[in-house]
Amino acid sequence: MNFEYHNPTHLIFGAGTLSQLGEVARRYGKKALLVTGGGSVKRSGVFDRAVASLKDAGVSVAECSGAEPNPRITTVRRGAKIARDEGCDVIIALGGGSTMDASKVIAAAVLYDGDPWDMIFHGQEKVYIPTTALPIITVPTLAATGSEMNCGAVISNEETTEKSFMQTECLYPQVALLDPELTVSVPKNQTAYGVCDLITHVTEGYFNGIDNTPIQDRFAEGVILTAMEYGPKAIADGSDLNARAQVQWAATVALNGWVQAGGGGVGFPVHMIEHTVSAYHDITHAAGLSIINPSWMRFAAKANTAKFVQFAERIFCLSAKRPDDLECALTGIDHFEEFLKSIDCPTRFSELGIDGTLIETYAKETLRIIHDENGKLPGRPAMTRADIIEVLRSAL
C-alpha cells in the first residue's frame, strides 16, 4: 500500500453558495471565460445568476457555450481561442461533467501552443502533459462525474472517432463550488444516470484495486450505500434538497481521491470499454456504464470472488457460505443490476438500439488506446480481446 495523495482543490459546498461565485473568481483575475453546455443553465436562470454574481464582484465575462454531452476537442479549441482572444484570467465551468471536462482542458490549452488533442491520451507515440493551466473554478449543475474536484477530463474527437482522457496535477480546479440547489431541476433520467455514474466510479476502484484496503473498502461501500439510499429519493422528488445534497456529495467523494487513495487501482476497464462504445454511438456515458458494468462484474467475479462476496454481503446484506462463494457473489451482482433497473437505467445494449455488429471493433479500439505489456486491458483481471468481446456480448 504505497501511494501518494494530493488534492489542492478548495471545496465550497452548500445550498445558496452560487452567490459566492463572483467573490471567489475575483481572487483569480478580472475576466472569466464562462463555459456552458447545451443551454439548460440559461433556461433555468442559473447562468444569469452566475453572471450577476461575477459582475457584482467586478469580474467581466466571456462565454463559450455548447460543450457537448461527450465534449469535443473542437469545443476545447474554440474555448481556448476565445479565452486567448478575450484575455481571460480564469476558466469557470457552469454545467455537468462534460462542461467541466471541456473547461479543464481549455484551461491547459490556453497556455499550450500546440493542438490540445496532443494532451489527450489516445495511443499516440508522445503525449504532451501540461504542467500549467489557467485557474479553474467548477460549478457543477449535475451530480455525476466528480470532475469538479479531480484532475481528470475525458474528451472526444469526432474526426477520428476517439474518446479518451487526460489526468494531470494542473487540472485540479482551484475551487469547486457545489450548490445542490442547482441540481433540483435536473430531470429524472439525468439524475438516475448521475447516480449510476458515481457508483461506477467507486466500483471501478473497489474491484480493480489491490487486496488489504479495509478503510478504502469501507469508504467505497459508504458512498455506494448512500447513493443507493438517496439516489432514488432525488429521482422520485427532484425538489428534495437533502437528497440532492447527499447525491452531490456522494458524486464528489466518489472521484476526488478519498475513496481511491491507497487502493492501488490497476485500471478502469468498464470506463475504457464504454469510452470506445460511446465514441461510436454518442450515447450518454452513464447509460453505457450501466450496461457494461454488471456484465463486467460477472466476468471479473470469477477471478476476484472474495471481493464480490464482500460487496454482496456489505451492500446487499447477503450471507456467503465461504469467502469464495461465487453464487453469493453473482447474486450480489444480480441485486446491483436490479437496482440499476429500478432507477430506469438500461442494462442491455438492445435498449439503446445498439446491436453486436461492431463488437469486434470496440474491443480492438479499446486495446489500441490502452493496453499493458501483454497487450491486455489493465484491470483485475487484465482483459484480452476475447474477454472484452465476452463482456460486451453478454450485455447485448
Residues that bind a copy of itself (CB under 8 A): 1-17, 212, 214-215, 217-219, 221-223, 225-226, 229-230, 242, 245-246, 249-250, 253, 258, 261-262
Q: Measured from the CB atom, is 144 or 369 closer to a copy of itself?
A: 144
Shortest Å distance, C-beta 213 to a copy of itself: 9
Q: Measured from the CB atom, is 24 or 283 closer to a copy of itself?
A: 24
Shortest Å distance, C-beta 147 to a copy of itself: 17
Shortest Å distance, C-beta 292 to a copy of itself: 26
Q: Measured from the CB atom, is 323 or 375 closer to a copy of itself?
A: 323
Q: Measured from the CB atom, is 17 or 60 closer to a copy of itself?
A: 17
Return the SS3 of 187. Answer: coil
Which of 86, 289, 128 is closest to 204 using CA atoms? Answer: 289
Q: Before 381, cis peptide (omega within 30)?
A: yes
Place of cell 487526460: 166
Return the SS3 of 92. Answer: strand
Contact indicator for 135, 91 with CB cutoff of 8 Å: yes
Which of 140, 54, 154 is closest to 104 using CA atoms? Answer: 154
Q: What span, in angstroms and rounded, lies between the C-alpha atoms of 114 and 128?
A: 9
Q: Measured from the CB atom, is 233 or 364 closer to a copy of itself?
A: 233
**In terms of C-beta density within 10 A (0-12 exposed, 13-18 middle, 19 or more buried), how is residue 78 classed?**
middle
Shortest Å distance, C-beta 47 to a copy of itself: 23
Q: Which residues of 10-28 are buried (b: 16+ CB within 10 A; e: fewer)?
A: ebbeeeebbebbbebbbeb
Which of 258, 101, 284 is closest to 197 using CA atoms? Answer: 284
Shortest Å distance, C-beta 201 to a copy of itself: 14
Q: Measured from the CB atom, is 134 or 228 closer to a copy of itself?
A: 228
Shortest Å distance, C-beta 17 to a copy of itself: 7
Shortest Å distance, C-beta 250 to a copy of itself: 6
Q: What span, in angstroms and rounded, lies between the C-alpha atoms of 148 and 369?
A: 25
> Which ranges constitute the DSSP H helices of 67-111?
73-86, 97-109
Q: Measured from the CB atom, is 3 or 323 closer to a copy of itself?
A: 3
List, in order, residues 6 or more apart from 121 with CB less than 8 Å away.
127, 164, 165, 166, 369, 370
Shortest Å distance, C-beta 318 to a copy of itself: 16
Q: Measured from the CB atom, is 129 or 225 closer to a copy of itself?
A: 225
Contact indicator for 169, 5 with CB cutoff of 8 Å: no
Q: What span, in angstroms and rounded, lies between the C-alpha atoms of 110 and 79?
A: 8
Shortest Å distance, C-beta 11 to a copy of itself: 4
Q: What span, in angstroms and rounded, lies between the C-alpha atoms of 292 and 282?
A: 15
Count the neighbouring beta carbons within 10 Å of the beta carbon of residue 4.
Answer: 6
In one letter, which amino acid is 18?
L
Q: Measured from the CB atom, is 133 or 251 closer to a copy of itself?
A: 251
Q: Measured from the CB atom, is 6 or 126 closer to a copy of itself?
A: 6
Q: What span, in angstroms and rounded, lies between the C-alpha atoms of 76 and 157?
A: 10
Shortest Å distance, C-beta 15 to a copy of itself: 7
